[in-house]
């Protein structure tokens, strides 16, 4: 990260606002403003978190209340299922079909139909007033099919899918990186690979979300199981592409 975390103490008003946001008492415009500020002001976001941690012992002091036993299975299916595929709905199955990705990449090669590809893979077109989504097509080589990525800066949801074949003999973990212009790669997370197709549906942290914009590069490297041990890519980069605004 090129920007150093600020050591400046927020003034009293900001600190109070952070405390109020953490506590959950804000509403209406004040709440929207504070939430927006948390997304863009790192010192403020850190102060909100500091307050949450400060008061957390109150929550921890509550007497345990076991959730229904069957909930665990549902939660695990939800959490792990999300890793393996974006969802179980019909359009999502397309995501995991290799032939679909070959076809989509062929379409993608003709830049005039890019918008068509994106609306196909990205669901309904974004409403006009929303922040524009960005996307990237990551290719191993010009002839290969692309891994397509769509990112919505407003919800910070990143969806990714496409073909990616690695050596099947060694267990590898594809990991997605964002590389700001002139900056160091930062991990966006691990992505699932099943039968030569990678998919991910990631919720990107606010700090990293700012890095995903036109001019940045997205890349996938193959890391040891569990992901890069160092926080920087250690394995071969198998696909990379530039980010464009839609």
**Contacts with other proteins in 180-209 (CB under 8 A)?**
187, 189-190, 202-203, 205
Distances (CA, A) of 228 to 136, 180, 198, 242: 22, 19, 17, 22
| Tokens matching residue 74 | 């549902």
Applying CB under 8 A, among 31, 43, 98, 240 the residue interacting with other proteins is: 31
Closer residue to other proteins, CB minimum distance, 4 or 78 = 78
Running DSSP on this structure, what letter comes out for residue 132? P
Residue listed under structure tokens 């039968």: 195
Asked if 226 touches other proteins (CB under 8 A), the answer is yes
Asked if 5 touches other proteins (CB under 8 A), the answer is no
In terms of C-beta distances under 8 Å and separation of at least 24 residues, what long-range contacts does 123-129 make, across chains too?
123/91, 126/152, 126/246
Asked if 138 touches other proteins (CB under 8 A), the answer is no
Asked if 174 touches other proteins (CB under 8 A), the answer is no
- Cβ atoms within 10 Å, residue 175: 23
Cβ–Cβ < 8 Å for 129, 237: no
Applying CB under 8 A, among 1, 71, 113, 125 the residue interacting with other proteins is: 71
Q: How many residues bind other proteins, per CB under 8 A?
A: 46
Asked if 84 touches other proteins (CB under 8 A), the answer is no
Residue listed under structure tokens 């490297």: 221
| Tokens matching residue 34 | 């504070």
Residues lying near other proteins in the complex (CB under 8 A) are found at: 15-16, 19-20, 23-27, 31, 49, 52-68, 71-72, 74-76, 78-80, 82-83, 187, 189-190, 202-203, 205, 226-227
């Amino acid at each position: 990260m090129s920007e150093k975390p600020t050591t400046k103490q927020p003034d009293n008003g900001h600190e109070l606002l952070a405390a109020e946001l953490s506590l959950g008492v804000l509403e209406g415009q004040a709440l929207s403003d504070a939430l927006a500020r948390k997304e863009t002001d790192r010192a403020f976001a850190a102060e909100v978190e500091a307050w949450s941690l400060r008061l957390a012992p109150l929550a921890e002091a509550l007497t345990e209340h076991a959730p229904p036993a069957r909930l665990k299975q549902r939660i695990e299916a939800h959490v792990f299922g999300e890793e393996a595929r974006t969802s179980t709905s019909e359009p999502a199955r397309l995501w995991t079909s290799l032939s679909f990705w070959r076809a989509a990449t062929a379409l993608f090669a003709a830049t005039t139909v890019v918008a068509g590809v994106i609306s196909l893979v990205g669901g309904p077109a974004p409403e006009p007033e929303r922040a524009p989504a960005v996307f990237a097509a990551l290719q191993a080589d010009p002839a290969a099919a692309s891994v397509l990525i769509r990112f919505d800066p407003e919800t910070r949801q990143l969806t990714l899918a496409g073909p990616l074949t690695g050596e099947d003999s060694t267990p590898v973990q594809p990991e997605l990186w964002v590389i700001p212009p002139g900056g160091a790669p930062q991990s966006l997370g691990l992505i699932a690979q099943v039968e030569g197709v990678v998919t991910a549906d990631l919720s990107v942290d606010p700090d990293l979300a700012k890095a995903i914009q036109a001019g940045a590069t997205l890349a996938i490297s193959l890391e040891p199981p569990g992901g890069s041990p160092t926080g920087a890519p250690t394995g071969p980069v198998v696909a990379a592409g530039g980010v464009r605004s839609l």
